[in-house]
Amino acid sequence: MKRPSTSSRDNTSRISRRAMVLGGIQGLVIGTLAWRMRDLQVNQSSEYRLLSDENRIRDRLLLPERGLIFDRNGQPLAENLPNYRIVMIREQAGDVRTVLAQLARIIELPVERREDIIRSMRRFGPSKKVPIIEHLSWEDFARVSANAPALPGIITEVGLNRYYPMQEDYSHVIGYVGPVSEADLNRFEDPDQIILSPGFQIGKTGLERHKGALLRGVAGIQRVEVNAVGRVMRELGRNDSLKGTDLQLTLDHDLQHYAQYRLAGESAAAVVMDVNSGDVRAMASTPGFDPNQFIYGITTKYWNSLIENEYRPLADKTISGAYPPGSTVKMITALAALEEGVVDPNEEIMCRGYVEVGNRRFHCWKRGGHGRMNLTDGLKNSCDVYYYEICQRIGIEKMALMARRFGFGAKPPLPLPSLTSGLAPNKQWKFDRYNEEWRIGDTLNAAIGQGFVLASPMQLAVMTARLASGRAVQPRIIQRINGVAEPLARAPSMQLSDKNLDLVKLGMFRVSNENRGTAYKSRINEPSLAMAGKTGTAQVKGISAEERAADLDSDEVPWKYRDHALFVGFAPYDNPRFAISVVIEHGISGSGAAAPVARDIMLRALYGTQPPISAYPRNLWPQMREQQANEPPPNQNIQPATPGSDRA
């Protein structure tokens, strides 16, 4: 038998080694694949199952219903109405322009509007639901819903929109909601997902802003299964959202509406407070605005009409307006003097129409003077000279301390933005502010509510309530939260002499109820409801000697330079229930402009409805009959305004 040659044996050996190496490599590859398959299927199965589920399961944020706001009697002031709208999820739409063009064949959607939508969508992630059309009619909504399967990424849904049925009446107190802006986001250190949701609206002003965290509620989560194009197939589960908190205010809509009506045509404010509880029954600021315009997107024309109006309709004058209080502060000056024992209430001070201090003459409002005045005479006639004299005995420090006890110089504890603290100045304040020493003339001006002294209508109402009750009443505007009454403690005593308080209140009674009192023409004619009050007229610019000599008619002075008109009061005198303050910007005369308005609003508060004609002075009966006949009813059940097209 022939043996294999050496070369044949070498070739066979070489082939066997190669086969072993190749087999080893194949075994290694197969082993590696097997190990990887086991790792994917066993060790990492949960992770990949989650990734797979995320391709077909989506978590959607469920926006909560915003809390409602009511007046003290349950009248809705801020509510939610259905809003038919279209939203889009960009990652499911594919070519957004194509989808919008298809949508435009179903409903009106101009090219310019489509481009705006595309630009706005870039601000949000591709998986977010972005509102593209709001406030659809039911017919348009139904047409889009029927064609939704052919519109990838398009979803029709029924949302809720804020609506303010009383329109201007509560525009400042309640405020309004609007889309979240960059400035809004800067207010939140760690904004939650609900605020970051496209189209979500937050409070911009008033209670809507200050109580926004309570009102907006808590978002829920809906888990849905979607198909390859993102269409929802079924709901897998949900955690429902929690509705926002309902608020019931202390305000009375009938009184609020009447106060707004009575101040119509003026740049003015009025506040009515319960003197015992501090409940604010009305806080009217005119002119107002329609907050619903901001919900739909305000027109350029309407926005310009607001910001260009010298009456400042966007400002809440009741809490943000800081005015020289004029003669309404004289009760504070009188109390400071009485408490310090530097004046006898029966002491008479001679008023010749002015006093001279140093080389300067300080005038009384009555040029010829009032003659001899005691404390209650000084209030009844609002004699400036009387207060020029007694303030020099007190000094500014004691006057400032008394003013602060009555609420000046501190923001009222109300859940509203833009509160002013007013000003009760003293020597240190002037030095810190102007680096100047306090002068005696500053004290004389402060004694009659001029110079540096400032107060808001709310602070003037608080001052009056404290005078009437002798207690440190604090204002409040929220009565119940989700139906639970807010705690109300009895206000502490002002720690003032009852005798001194009674003297000041007697002076206020004489202002409104005695012939020649500065508010006698605006008295309440029903003795059991008699009102005690104080008029005030505050200069907004100094009067030069030349201007005083010229004695210009008020109509000849530009509106913005005319004096402010003020009135404060409480009623009934024998058993006080309500305090009121009225400020009419550049109204010229407290007795002529502010006092009649205050009387009418006070009567409405006391009677709770239109008062009988007999409650007015007899000479006013024909006028008041006509006024009551023309009074518009409270604007209830007004339909939402139609959204405009020219939007700012």
Task: Identify the pLDDT of residue 546.
Answer: 57
Q: Tell me how crowded residue 261 is: count the other CB atoms within 10 A of its CB.
A: 20
Residue 109 or 418, more confident = 418
Give dist(CA 139, CA 531) in Å, integer: 58
Domain layout of the chain by residue ranges:
58-249, 253-477+495-629
Is the predicted pLDDT of residue 552 greater than 50, yes or no? yes
- Give the contacts of 118 (CB within 8 A, at least 6 positions apart): 96, 97, 100
Indicate the pairing of strand 177-179 with strand 201-203.
Answer: antiparallel
Task: Identify the pLDDT of residue 636.
Answer: 47
Q: Tell me how crowded residue 356 is: count the other CB atoms within 10 A of its CB.
A: 8
Would you tell me the crossing angle of helices 384-394 and 330-340 to the nearest 10 degrees?
40
Q: Which residues of 104-126 are buried (b: 16+ CB within 10 A; e: fewer)?
A: eebbebeeeebeebeeebeeeee
Domain 58-249, classified CATH 3.90.1310.10, yes or no: yes
Is the predicted pLDDT of residue 296 greater than 50, yes or no? yes
Lowest mean pLDDT among 82-86, 254-258, 289-293, 569-573: 82-86
Most confidently predicted of 63-67, 132-136, 153-157, 631-635: 63-67
**Coil/strand/helix, residue 358:** coil
Tell me the two tokens of residue 465: 């309530």
Is the predicted pLDDT of residue 640 greater than 50, yes or no? no
Task: Identify the pLDDT of residue 551.
Answer: 55
Lowest mean pLDDT among 109-123, 156-170, 262-276, 428-442: 109-123
**Coil/strand/helix, residue 476:** strand
CA 199 to centroid of chain Cα atoms: 22
Residue 60 or 639, more confident = 60
Q: Is 554 a catalytic residue?
A: no
Mean pLDDT over residues 40-68, rounded?
67
**Do 253-477+495-629 and 58-249 have the same topology in CATH?**
no
Give residue 124's pLDDT band: very low, low, confident or very high (50, 70, 90). confident
Task: Identify the pLDDT of residue 392.
Answer: 96
Task: Identify the pLDDT of residue 637.
Answer: 40
- Give the contacts of 526 (CB within 8 A, at least 6 positions apart): 614, 615
Tell me the two tokens of residue 385: 């000279």
Q: Are 393 and 342 in contact (CB under 8 A)?
A: yes
CATH fold group of domain 253-477+495-629: Beta-lactamase (3.40.710)
Q: Are 306 and 314 in contact (CB under 8 A)?
A: yes
Give the residue among 281, 508, 256, 258 at the shortest CA–CA distance from 376. 508
- Give the contacts of 412 (CB within 8 A, at least 6 positions apart): 319, 419, 456, 458, 459, 462, 474, 475
Give dist(CA 385, CA 406) in Å, integer: 23
Mean pLDDT over residues 549-560, rounded?
70
Q: Which of 171, 277, 327, 382 is catalytic?
A: 327
Lowest mean pLDDT among 19-28, 403-412, 613-622: 19-28
Is the predicted pLDDT of residue 209 greater than 80, yes or no? yes
Is the predicted pLDDT of residue 92 greater than 80, yes or no? no
- Give the contacts of 88 (CB within 8 A, at least 6 positions apart): 96, 99, 117, 121, 129, 130, 132, 153, 154, 155
- Per-residue model confidence as pLDDT tens digits over 467-515: 999 999 999 999 999 999 999 989 999 999 999 999 999 999 999 999 9
Task: Identify the pLDDT of residue 498.
Answer: 96
Q: Are 373 and 431 in contact (CB under 8 A)?
A: no
Is the predicted pLDDT of residue 215 greater than 60, yes or no? yes
Is the predicted pLDDT of residue 550 greater than 60, yes or no? no
Task: Identify the pLDDT of residue 535.
Answer: 97
Task: Identify the pLDDT of residue 639.
Answer: 43
Mean pLDDT over residues 276-286, rounded?
97
The mean pLDDT of the chain is: 87
Residue 119 or 414, more confident = 414
Residue 546 or 458, more confident = 458
Indicate the pairing of strand 371-373 with strand 349-351.
Answer: antiparallel
Lowest mean pLDDT among 224-238, 273-287, 551-565: 224-238
Give residue 87's pLDDT band: very low, low, confident or very high (50, 70, 90). confident
Sign (positive or negative) of CA dihedral 465, 419, 457, 528: negative
Sign (positive or negative) of CA dihedral 461, 466, 467, 469: positive
Task: Identify the pLDDT of residue 644.
Answer: 37
Task: Identify the pLDDT of residue 472.
Answer: 97
Task: Identify the pLDDT of residue 648.
Answer: 39
Is the predicted pLDDT of residue 394 greater than 60, yes or no? yes
Mean pLDDT over residues 396-403, rounded?
97
Is the predicted pLDDT of residue 65 greater than 70, yes or no? yes
